[in-house]
Amino acid sequence: MVQVAGPERSEGQEREPERLSGGGQDISESKRLEELAAYAAIVQFSDGAIVSLTPECVITTWNPGAEKLFGFPAVEAVGQQVDILLNPPARRGSSVLERVARGDRIEQHQTEVIRKDGNPLSISLNASPIRNEQGTIVGISSIAYDVTEVRRGQDALRAAHDELARSVAELERRNIEVTLLNEMGDLLQSCSNLDEVSKVIRKYTRRLFPGQSGAVSVIAPSRNLLEMVAAWGEIPGDGPFGPQDCWALRRGRVHRVDDEEEELICPHVGTAPPGGYICVPMMAQGEALGLLHLRAGGAERWGDGTAGDSRQRLAVPVAEHLSLALANFSLRESLRNQSIRDPLTELFNRRYMDEPLQRELARAARYHSSVAVLAIDVDNFKAFNDAYGHPVGDALLTSLGALLQNRIRSEDIACRSGGEEFNVILPDCQLDDARRRAEELRAAMKGLEVGVRGRSYGGITISIGVAVYPENGVDSATLLHEADAALYRAKAEGRDRVSTSAAVS
């Protein structure tokens, strides 16, 4: 320490105070040196990377912590721009340290840098400006800590959170799908005709496959044709096609096309959609009932696997639900037909006839119209059956049933009441018209030839009784009774004739 000499004093004059003053300076300087030593020790042994820079971000000090953290020895770092830690070197104007050089202070600023060995490093940075006695910024003081593991933990936690969110969203979506599938299955079980089935399918497939296009086709009873029963989205309204036109039906399993250039395209598809498509066979008890066809929608592409896998995962249970519903519907229709139709003639049976007759009578009463009922019986059928055998007798009844179906209007109802007896309900038909039509049926039957095993049987006649609402009765039981009474009168008068009821209601 440089000391400045003063004027000479006599021995003993005020020597002690001067020593005291000089001693105070020594103490102050000593404290300052101790503080500097302590600061140097902190810098030297700190776990943090302590770096000083000029306002232009040129490194001026670089402690061992910085050497350890960044991999650059002090001799390589001091005098360099701080950009050596950036890859690729960034414009210093965009550096956060430029803000500090302008007077800002930053704390726990997390950023990414590059070590000398090229490995990335996450750091937490604190930095503040260094000012001289006049307040001018003459440098930057900074300390950085390695937070790579912390960042990795944060990233892992964030990734786990995102994955959990995706899982929850997927679970919610699947719950919605299960709910929709159950709703669709329940409604399909309650459908009474194919038109209702089609409406239910369209409603729920649009919700299950939003943004997609598709169709459901069922195999006809002939087993050689599929007919579309429901379609949604933008899908060509193609006509029927054969089972051999679909690879899914040929193989009995899902056929999916992601790339129309590389894979086999089903002939029924025609031009494959660019995004891909899926065909799922609808099976029940090992038998194909139909086909679920689904196409990618809009700009969606199934080639990456994710979207296609998701659609296929849903399409399979949808096809299974539809298969079960259609199988049950077909079974119900079959049982219903068996219960209301005569298996020999395929006409309605006596059990079914009461319902439409009462309905037509109620309609006639409401609109003040008429309803005619024909009672038909094959003349001498027992003798014919005994003479030629039951197969020929059955052929005769089948031919009569076909004749009735061909000769009546679409709104008329033909029934086999039992044995060789038949009834025909003629809505909105008055007495004269009913008698004329009965005569036409009698004449047509008389000219009918029944062929069995190479032999032809003809000359068969029928007798017909006619009763009309409201003249001959106002309820179904009375009307049928009067038609039967007129039939018996026709038989009593010689058969092969038409007789009308004489009753007046």
Do 16 and 32 belong together in one domain? yes
Pair type for strands 371-378 and 255-257? unpaired
Count up the domains in the chain and report the number: 4
What's the Cα-to-Cα distance from 197 to each of 156, 241, 282, 322, 480, rounded to whole Å? 49, 20, 15, 10, 36
Do 272 and 321 belong together in one domain? yes
Do 354 and 288 belong together in one domain? no
Q: How many Å apart are CA 20 and CA 42, to the nearest integer?
A: 32
CA 498 to chain centroid, in Å, comes to 62
What pTM did the predictor assign?
A: 0.52
The domain containing residue 213 runs over which residues?
Answer: 181-332
Q: In terms of Cα–Cα distance, which of 428, 501, 417 is closest to 465?
A: 501
Confidence at residue 20, expressed as pLDDT on a 0 to 100 scale: 40
Confidence at residue 87, expressed as pLDDT on a 0 to 100 scale: 62
| Residue listed under structure tokens 């003639």 | 345
Two structure tokens written together for 35 = 């503080």
Q: In terms of Cα–Cα distance, which of 297, 295, 293, 285 is closest to 319?
A: 293
CA 347 to chain centroid, in Å, comes to 42
Query: Of 274, 308, 332, which closes a domain?
Result: 332
**HSE-CB for 434 with a 13 A CA cutoff:** 28
Do 314 and 355 belong together in one domain? no
Cis-peptide into 470, omega within 30 deg = yes
Do 355 and 392 belong together in one domain? yes
Helix (H) or strand (E) holding 423: strand 421-427
In CATH, what number is assigned to the domain containing residue 140? 3.30.450.20
Confidence at residue 10, expressed as pLDDT on a 0 to 100 scale: 40
Q: In terms of Cα–Cα distance, which of 502, 439, 427, 497 is closest to 471?
A: 502
Tens-binned pLDDT, residue by residue, of the chain (505 aa): 333 333 344 444 444 444 444 455 566 766 656 665 666 666 776 778 999 999 999 999 999 999 999 999 999 999 999 888 876 554 444 478 888 999 999 999 988 899 999 999 999 999 999 999 899 999 999 999 999 888 889 889 999 999 999 989 888 988 998 899 899 988 888 887 778 888 999 999 999 988 888 999 988 877 888 988 888 887 765 578 999 999 999 999 999 988 777 788 999 988 777 788 999 999 887 888 899 999 887 667 766 656 678 888 889 989 988 888 888 777 677 677 677 888 899 899 988 888 899 999 999 999 999 999 999 999 999 999 889 999 999 999 999 999 999 999 999 999 999 899 999 999 999 999 999 999 999 999 998 888 888 888 888 999 999 999 999 999 999 999 999 999 999 999 999 999 999 876 5
Could you tell me if residue 211 is inside a domain?
yes
Total residue count of the chain as it appears in this document:
505
Q: How many Å apart are CA 106 and CA 142, to the nearest integer?
A: 9
Confidence at residue 400, expressed as pLDDT on a 0 to 100 scale: 94
Do 27 and 54 belong together in one domain? no
What's the Cα-to-Cα distance from 288 to each of 24, 189, 243, 375, 414, rounded to whole Å? 108, 19, 9, 43, 34
Q: In terms of Cα–Cα distance, which of 450, 458, 465, 350 is closest to 397?
A: 450
Q: How many CB atoms lie within 10 A of CB 395?
A: 18
State phi, psi for 276 to the nearest 5 degrees.
Answer: 115, 170
Could you tell me if residue 367 is inside a domain?
yes
Query: Of 146, 171, 196, which closes a domain?
Result: 146
Do 243 and 360 belong together in one domain? no
Could you tell me if residue 158 is inside a domain?
no
Torsional class of 501: left (φ above 0), alpha (ψ -120 to 50), beta (otherwise): beta
Amino acid of residue 488: Y
Do 219 and 78 belong together in one domain? no
Could you tell me if residue 186 is inside a domain?
yes
231's CB contacts (< 8 A; 6+ apart) are: 202, 213, 214, 215, 216, 237
Q: How many Å apart are CA 469 and CA 370, to the nearest integer?
A: 5
Could you tell me if residue 164 is inside a domain?
no
Do 124 and 235 belong together in one domain? no
Do 16 and 98 belong together in one domain? no
First and final CA of the chain: distance in angstroms? 145
Could you tell me if residue 310 is inside a domain?
yes
Could you tell me if residue 505 is inside a domain?
no
Could you tell me if residue 169 is inside a domain?
no
In CATH, what number is assigned to the domain containing residue 415? 3.30.70.270
Q: How are the residues of the chain apportioned to helix, strand and coil, as percentages rounded to the nearest 5?
A: 45, 25, 30
Residue pair 498/490 in contact (Cβ under 8 Å)? The answer is yes
Do 366 and 484 belong together in one domain? yes
Confidence at residue 4, expressed as pLDDT on a 0 to 100 scale: 31
In CATH, what number is assigned to the domain containing residue 189? 3.30.450.40
Do 384 and 412 belong together in one domain? yes
